[in-house]
Copies of this chain bind each other. A is one copy, B any other.
Amino acid sequence: MKNLIIASTSTIYGLGYLEYLMPVLKDHFKNATTILFIPYARPGGISHDDYTAKVAEAFAQIDKKIVGLHTFENPVEAIEKAEGIFTGGGNTFLLVKQLYWHNVMLPLKEVLQNGAPYLGCSAGSNITGLTMETTNDMPIVYPPSFQTLGMVPFNINPHYLDPIEGSTHMGETRETRINEFHCFNSQPVLGLREGSWLEVHGSKITLKGSLTARLFRQNQSPIELETETDLSNLS
Considering only CB atoms, which chain B residue lies closest to A174 in the complex?
B138
- Chain B min CB distance to A37 (Å): 19
Contacts of A43 in B (CB 8 A): 172, 180
CA A136 to CA B176, docked complex, whole Å: 13
CA A172 to CA B177, docked complex, whole Å: 17
- Chain B min CB distance to A49 (Å): 15
On whether A138 and B134 interact (CB within 8 A), knowing A9-B170, A170-B9, A180-B45, the answer reads yes
On whether A140 and B181 interact (CB within 8 A), knowing A12-B170, A170-B12, A170-B194, the answer reads yes
Judging by beta carbons under 8 Å apart, are B13 and A170 in contact?
yes
* Cβ contact of A184, chosen from B140, B159, B168, cutoff 8 A: B140
CA A13 to CA B134, docked complex, whole Å: 26
Contacts of A178 in B (CB 8 A): 138
Considering only CB atoms, which chain B residue lies closest to A144 in the complex?
B142
CA A135 to CA B91, docked complex, whole Å: 14
Judging by beta carbons under 8 Å apart, are B138 and A136 in contact?
yes
Judging by beta carbons under 8 Å apart, are A184 and B94 in contact?
yes
Copies of this chain, how many? 2
Judging by beta carbons under 8 Å apart, are B142 and A180 in contact?
no
Number of A residues whose C-beta is below 8 Å from B? 46
Q: Tell me whether A133 is interfacial, beta carbon within 8 Å.
A: yes
Give the residues from 127 to 154 in chain A that come closer than 8 angstroms, CB to CB, to chain B: 132-142, 145-146
In this complex, which of A9, A42, A183 has the most chain B Cβ atoms within 10 angstroms of its Cβ?
Answer: A183
Q: Tell me whether A62 is interfacial, beta carbon within 8 Å.
A: no
CA A133 to CA B140, docked complex, whole Å: 5
Q: Render A170-213 as a binary contact track against B, CB cut-off 8 A, 1 for contact.
A: 11100011111111110000000010000000000000000000
Judging by beta carbons under 8 Å apart, are B183 and A42 in contact?
yes
On whether A181 and B138 interact (CB within 8 A), knowing A13-B170, A169-B159, A169-B161, the answer reads yes
Top 10 closest A-B pairs, CB basis? A45-B183, A13-B168, A159-B171, A138-B177, A140-B181, A142-B146, A9-B170, A133-B139, A11-B170, A141-B184
Q: Write 24 A-B pairs (CB below 8 A) sorted by A numbering.
A: A9-B170, A10-B170, A13-B168, A13-B169, A14-B168, A44-B179, A45-B179, A45-B182, A45-B183, A90-B180, A91-B180, A93-B139, A94-B184, A133-B138, A134-B138, A136-B138, A136-B171, A138-B180, A140-B177, A140-B180, A140-B185, A141-B184, A142-B145, A159-B169
